[in-house]
Structure formats: C-alpha cells, structure tokens
Structure 1
Amino acid sequence: MADVLLYTSLFIIWLMLFYHMFLMHGGYLYSLKHKKLEKEWTDEPVELPTVSILIPAHNEDVVIEQTIQSMIALRYDKTKLEVIVINDNSSDNTGHIADLYAAKHPFVKVVHTKPPNIGKGKSGALNQGLKHATGEVVVVYDADNTPEPDAVYYLALGIAKDKKAGAVVGKFRVTNAKQNLLTRLINVETLTFQWLAQAGRWYWFKMTTIPGTNFAIRRSILQQLGGWDEKALSEDTELSFRVYNLGYYIRFFPSAVTWEQEPETLKVWWKQRTRWARGNEYVIFKYLFSPMKNRTVTFDLFYFLFTYILFFSGIILSHGIFVSNLIFDLELSIGPISIALLITGFLLFVTEALIALSMEKGQLTFKNTLVVVFMYFTYSQLWVALVAYATVLEIRRVVFKQEVKWYKTQRFKQNT
C-alpha cells in the first residue's frame, strides 16, 4: 500500500512539473515573437487613451517619494495622465510627501481616506481611488514600484490595439535582487513565474492573471464589476476571474516593465506569501461551485485547485512516507521508476528556471544556477509548510467567521 501511495504522489508531482515545462516552452516561444509584435504596434499610429494611475499607500514614506518621481518621469502625454496616490490611514509622512508633489504637479492628486473607509486593505484603498479616477484606463502600481519611463505607454498601447483585452499585464523585476540570498531566490521565482505562468499561459491559452501591480484595465470594466472585492486577500487573482467571466481576456505584454522591492527577511516573506496563499484559496472556493461563462477560466480554476490541493497533497504524502519509512519499516520497494521520477522532477525544475533566466539579460549566471539548485531543496520545500499554514488559517476564518485582516508588506530603505 505504501508503494502505491508513494508512486501516486511522485506521479502527481512529476505531472505538475511536466505541465510547467509545457508552459515554459510556450513562454520561450512567446518571447521570440513578442518583439515583432511590439515593433508592429509602435510603428502604427494609434490614439492613446486617458489614463488614471492608482497607487494605494499605507505607511509608505520609505518608498513613496521614489515611486512618485518615477510617475513624473513617465513618457506619456501629461494632459492624458493623472496619478492618484491613495493615502490610506497612514500614521507616517506618506500623505505629507504625496501632498508636496501634488502641489507642484497638477496631474498628481492625493486622496486621503476617511472613516469608515480606512484601513480596509489594498482593495478598499483602490475602490476609494477609483471614485476619483477619470481616465478611460486605470493603471495600478504598488507604492514601492518604479516603472520604466515607457511602462504606462506600453500598457495603454496594448489596450488601444487589442479591443478584446479587458486588461493588459506588464512585467516586474526585482530591484533588490542582490541584497541577500532570500532576494536572489525571490528574483528567480518571479522571473520563472512570469515567463512560465504568465507568458506560457498566454501563448497556449490566451490567458494570464492580473498581478498586484503594473497592469492596465478599462475603467468601464471596473465600474461594471463594482471595483475590487474587499474580502479578497489576493484581489488581483479574484479580479482576473471576473474579467474573464465578462468575455474579455487579459493580455501579457512584457514590454511594460516595473521594478519593485521584495522582502529582505524571512519573516516579512512568510507574512506576504501567507496572504497570497490564503487569497488564492479564497478565490478557488469562491468560484469552484459558481457557474463560469468562460471555459478557459474554468480550466485555470482547476489549475489553481490542482496546485493548492492535489500538488500540495502529493508533496505532503511523499514527504510523509519517506519520513515514516525512516522510523518504521514500510517495506518500500523504491525501484528504478521512483528514482527516475525523482531525478526527472529535479531536472525539470532546474531546466524551467534556467530557461526563464536565459530570457532576461544578465540573469543566466553561474551564481544564479547555484541559487536554482539550492532553491529546489530549500525555498520550494518551505512553500509546502507555508501553504499548510495558510490553509489552517483559512479554515479557521471560515469556521469561526473571522474578519479578513490585510497584512501590508514591510518596506526597506534602499541605499542610493
């Protein structure tokens, strides 16, 4: 019986990794054709829409000034642009800093949230900002983001050129990637996610997921949907499902690049990723038994379900059997097949990450290759414990009908 369970768990793990390789292949093919599309779109004149940039900010005085400066440096017609900083119940100098820039630049505005609409998390702040937005397109940036000068231009260009796109998603890079080992691991993770899950799914299925930052969405869609779900900890994933349900798709357009700060300590990383995991589980069970008008998004819902339930269970099961076998003799007959599955899984993981790194200039290095190998045995295994912890918290929230509490990721002052 133990053999059957072990082989089953290894097969589930291997199957997911194989599917990821399929997605990465699509991401690589998309990276080859994207530049051609970018040139075609930029060479053909088009009327660009008016844009409202929303920046939710709660106690962000460490990073908000640099973020606003990057907005001022955007190469976009300022008569068609408004930057709205939502100062959400900050107790530091966030609001004061934003007000100083608003006094100097007419296209910069500050919304100071007021009771009872304060401290409800990112979704609540975005909904308050949306009330003041006048642009045809809404762009969202986190308060630690420094988009490249042409980022908003490319997002708006994608919306203008593709009428079927309800939203356009850009690419984000890690500004503090070399800070320590943790940020190096996160850097590999983010690059792999974008070229595998975002570009790969777009290439094969015309599907991608709205991230928390660096995306554009038609304001008419947000108004039709009633804004962001304030109960969702992963407001971006939740919004994606509703956009697809309206009959639109979400385009991945990596020409739009922003740089963002990632957690520099394990404690901050754990809290942030726990929120992400709980948010994704909320989305899974919110839509699992709801009628979905879009078949493709139904497939994606089951992908999330597979990742957080089956794949997670497969890892827990295989780890449990191996540990139990160290204590009790389970009479496992670990033969060539199981060993081959283990080795194949490791090689697929490493190959996927290295392909992603190869698509970013200067990232495929010997040091990053060592980081990838280390990542498989440490960082990836830590994800298992994190999902287990997040699942317990979500079950407790549902059973005891607890109120959702938003955790704002701690920022770190950067050396200039």
Structure 2
Amino acid sequence: MADILLYTSLFLIWAMLFYHMFLMQGGYRHSIEYRRTKERWEKKPFHYPSVSVLIPAHNEEMVIEETMKAMLNLNYPEDKIEVIVINDNSSDATGEIVDAYVKKYPRIKAVHTKPPHAGKGKSGALNQGLKKSAGDVIVVYDADNTPEPDAVRYLALGIENDAKAGAVVGKFRVTNGSKNLLTRLINIETITFQWLAQAGRWFWFKMATIPGTNFAIRRSILEKLGGWDEKALSEDTELSFRVYNLGYHIRFFPAAITWEQEPEVLKVWWKQRTRWARGNEYVIFKYLFSLHKLEKKKIVIDLVYFLFTYLLFFGGVMISHSIFILNLFWDLNLSMGMVSYVLLVLGFLLFVTEVTLSLSFERGQLTWKNFAVVLFMYFTYSQLWIILVVYASFLEAKRILFKQEVKWYKTQRFQGKQTNENRSAS
C-alpha cells in the first residue's frame, strides 16, 4: 500500500514539475518576444481608447494618496481617461483623502458606497464603479498600487492591437520586497509566478489569468458578462474563465508595470493567501461541474492546471512527505528505496533552477542573497503553502456543507514610504 501511494504521489509531483519546465521555456521565449511586439506596436499610429480606471478602496488611508499621485502621473490624454475611486464604506480617512483630489483634479472621481450594498468585497465595489464609468476600456488597480507612467497606455495598446484579446494583463512588482525575509520570499514568488505561469501559459496556449490589479478589459465584455461575480473570493480568476468562454484570449503584456505593497507579517500573508486559495477552489468546482455547459472547451487547459495545483499536486506532496517521515521511524518496506530519495533531491534542484531562471528575467534580481533565499524558500515558504491549502480546503468544504456566507478579507496595509531598491531594477 505504501508503495502504491508513493508511486502515485511521485507521478503527480513530477507531472507538475515537467509541466513547469515546459512553461518556463515559454516564459523565456515570451520575455524576448513581447519586446519585439511592443516595438512593432509603438511604430504604428495609435488611437487612444477612452479608459476608466477603477480603484476599489476600503480603509486605505495609509496608501491611497500615493496611488492618487501615480494616477495623476499617467501618460494618457486627459480627455480620454477618468479615474474612479470606489470608497467602499471606509471607516477611516480614505473618503476625505480621495475627495480632496476630486476637488483639485477633473480626471479623478469618487463613488462612496453605503450599506447594505457596501463593504462586502472587491467584486461588489467594482460593480458599483462600473455603473458610474464611461470608458470603452476598463482598467483596474488595487488601492496600494503605483503604476508606472506608461502602464495604462501599454494596456490600452494591447487592447487596440489585439482584436482577440478580451483582456490585457500587465506585470506587477513588489515595492517593499527588501523590507524583511517574508517580503523577499513574496517578491521571488511574484516574479516566478509571472514569468512561469503567466508568460509560459500565454506563449504556449494564449492564456493568462487576470490578476487583481494592472489589467485592462473591454467594457463590452464586462457588460455582456454582467460584471464581477460577487460570490467569488478570487474574482479575478473567476472572471478569466468567463472571458475564455466568450472565445477571447487574455494577453500577458509585461511592458505595463505596476508596483504594489505586500504583507510584511506572516499573519496578514496567511489571511490573504487563504482567501486566494479558497477563491481558486471556488472557481475550480464552479466550472468542474458545469463543463458540459461551457462553449469553449479550451478552458479545460486552465481548469486542469488549477485542479492539479490546488488538489492533485498538493495532495501528492502531502502523501510523499508523510511516507518520507514515517519511513524514518518505521520500515515501510518501500521497493523504490534510495530511488525515491534521489527523485526528491532532483525535484528540489529543479525547483531551484526554475525559480532562479525566473529571477534572471528581471534586472538586478538574480543575486547571491536572493539565491540563498530561494534555497531557504523550498524548505519553509513552499511547505507552508501546503499547510495553507489544506486549511483553505477545510474552510471551503465547511462553507459549502453548512451553506455559510462568503466573507471577504481585506489585506492589511503597512505605514511608511516604500523602498525604491526594487524599482531601479525593473
């Protein structure tokens, strides 16, 4: 029995590792290709579409002013852009700060939501902002974001030059990546996700996941879909699946860059990532049991990827870890013997290789310090993710079983100016 479980777990783990190797090749090729695409597009005459930037904000007084300054610094025609901040039932000074900018700058507008249709989550706030917007293209930024001046222009450039793109996704970087060990780990995770999962999937399958920030989507698509799903904790992933189902692709265009703050303490990270994991599991089961209703079967590629990531892969890792630990104390008579240990070591080396390759795509990120953090990451941060997914799965199962209401957790922000160390490396 132990042999069967071990073989099964190793198959699941190595299937994911090989798939990631495949994605990394695509990520590398896209890191070269997108620059050529950008140069080609910039040589063509560009018709600026009207843009509405939506910024949902709930108790964001620590960060909202920096975001407002970044919005004013965007290189986009004044008569073609509006910035709508949805002050979602904030109890702090968020509303007052935003209103001060509204009075001074015509491009900034405010929507102040009140109960009962307020303070329930990002999706609801975005739907309120969508109703008040007028742009043909909707761009979304989180309230802690400071996009680079050309970010919105590049997102719009992608929409205008790619008729099949229902949405265009930019790149996000971490402003506080050197604050402490946790933010360094998150910074490495963020870079790896974008160049491996986003760039790799785009290159091979013309698919990418809409993130929570720094993306543009056609207004016509949002109206056809009825806006954001207010029951989804990962509203971005859920929206991605519906865009695919309309027959559009989602382009990853890393020329559009934004900077965002990440959790600086483990408690905040845990709550944020638990919401992400639960949200993605919601999406998996929402579409897994309605495959027959989907018009575009290409969605299955991403559905299998998420299913593998959150259930099968993590399940395989848990089984292999359990057998490894048990075999240290009791002889389980494993037929593989030392081969299983060799495979575990090779898996670790492959993990390190993939992450360091991702770091090499960002100037100034492949350093000896970051390499040491990557080694540490495998044995700590990555293993913590396994525990987190188990916990999130338990909460999601309990919610379904007892028909509990979905509760949104708003990520806590941190006071203080963010370092510019990482910005110089973009």
Q: Normalized against structure 2, the TM-score is what?
A: 0.96
Task: Select 1:296's aligned residue among 295, 298, 323.
Answer: 298
Write the distance in 2 (CA, Å) between the matches of 1:336 and 1:16: 22
Provide the rounded CA distance (Å) in 1 between the counterparts of 2:358 and 2:323.
32
CA-based RMSD of the aligned residues comes to 1.0
| Residue 378 (structure 1) aligned to one of 377, 380, 383 | 380
Q: Specify the alignment match of 2:423 in structure 1.
A: none
Contact persistence 1:292–1:298 (CA under 8 A): no
Give the corresponding residue for 1:284: 284
The count of aligned residue pairs is 416
Determine the structure 2 residue equivalent to 1:49: 49
Deviation at 1:4, TM superposition (A): 2.6
Q: What do residues 348-395 of structure 1 show as CA deviations (whole Å, max 9, x unaligned)? A: 111110111000000000000011111111100000000000000000
Q: Distance in 1 between matches of 2:329 and 2:295?
A: 50
Tell me whether 1:387 sits opposite 2:389 in the alignment: yes
Q: In the alignment, is residue 7 of structure 1 matched against residue 3 of structure 2?
A: no
Which of the residues 300, 314, 338 maps onto 1:312? 314
Query: The residue matched to 2:202 in structure 1 has which SS?
Result: helix
- Provide Cα deviations, 1:303-331, integer angstroms capped at 9, x if missing partner: 11111111111011111112222343312
Partner of 1:398 in structure 2? 400
For 1:371, the aligned partner's letter is V
Structure 1 unaligned blocks of 5 or more: none
| Secondary structure, aligned partner of 1:251 | strand
Deviation (angstroms), 1:7: 2.5
CA distance in 2, matches of 1:221, 1:6: 46
Q: In the TM superposition, what are the counterparts of 1:130-149 in structure 2 within 5 Å?
A: 130-149=130-149
1:98-109 alignment to 2 at 5 Å? 98-109=98-109
Cα deviations by residue, 1:30-63 (Å, 9 ceiling, x for unpaired): 1111111100001101211000000000000000
Q: In the alignment, residue 100 of structure 1 is paired with which amino acid? A: A
CA contact (8 A) 1:78 1:107 kept: yes
Task: For 1:21-32, list aligned pairs within 5 A.
Answer: 21-32=21-32
1:118 aligned partner: 118
**Aligned residue type for 1:152:** V
- Residues 208-219 of structure 1 mapped to structure 2, 5 A cutoff: 208-219=208-219
In the alignment, what sits opposite 2:424? Answer: none
After the TM superposition, which residues 192-203 of structure 1 pair with which residues of structure 2 at under 5 Å, given as runs? 192-203=192-203
- Return 211-220 or 311-320, whichever deviates more: 311-320
Q: Indicate the SS of the match to 2:132.
A: coil
- Pairing 1:40–2:36 present: no
Q: CA deviation at 1:149?
A: 0.2
Q: Describe the SS at the equivalent of 1:13.
A: helix
What is the rounded CA distance, in whole Å, between the counterparts of 1:40 and 1:329 in structure 2? 63
Following superposition, the deviation at residue 334 of structure 1 comes to 4.3
Alignment of structure 1 residues 163-312 onto 2, 5 Å:
163-290=163-290, 291-312=293-314
Residues of 2 paired with 1:158 and 1:353: CA distance? 28
User: What are the superposed Cα offsets for residues 236-282 of structure 1, whole Å, 9 maximum, x if unpaired?
Assistant: 00000000101111000000000000000000000000000000000
**AA in 1 matched with 2:375:** V
Q: Distance in 2 between matches of 1:244 and 1:226?
A: 15
Distance 2:339 2:153 in 1: 52
Shifted more, 13-22 versus 245-254: the winner is 13-22
Q: Whole-Å Cα distance in 2 between the matches of residues 69 and 415 of structure 1?
A: 14
Give the residue type in structure 1 aligned to 2:343: L
Structure 1 counterpart of 2:44, one-letter code: E
Equivalent in 328, 332, 335 of residue 334 of structure 2 = 332
Displacement of 1:114 in angstroms is: 2.0
Q: Which moved more, 1:4-13 or 1:247-256?
A: 4-13
Q: Distance in 2 between the 1:115 and 1:354 partners? A: 47
Q: Residue 82 of structure 2 aligns to a residue in which SS?
A: strand
Matched residue SS, 1:257: strand
Distance in 1 between the 2:16 and 2:45 partners? 43
Higher mean C-alpha deviation, range 239-248 or range 285-294: 285-294
> Structure 2: which amino acid aligns with 1:214?
N
Which range moves more in the overlay, 331-340 or 399-408? Answer: 331-340
CA distance in 2 between partners of 1:9 and 1:302 (Å): 17
1:92 aligned counterpart, secondary structure: coil
AA matched with 1:162: D
| 8 Å contact from structure 1 (residues 3, 332) kept in 2 | yes
Q: Percent identity?
A: 71
Counterpart-to-counterpart distance in 2, 1:297 and 1:48: 31
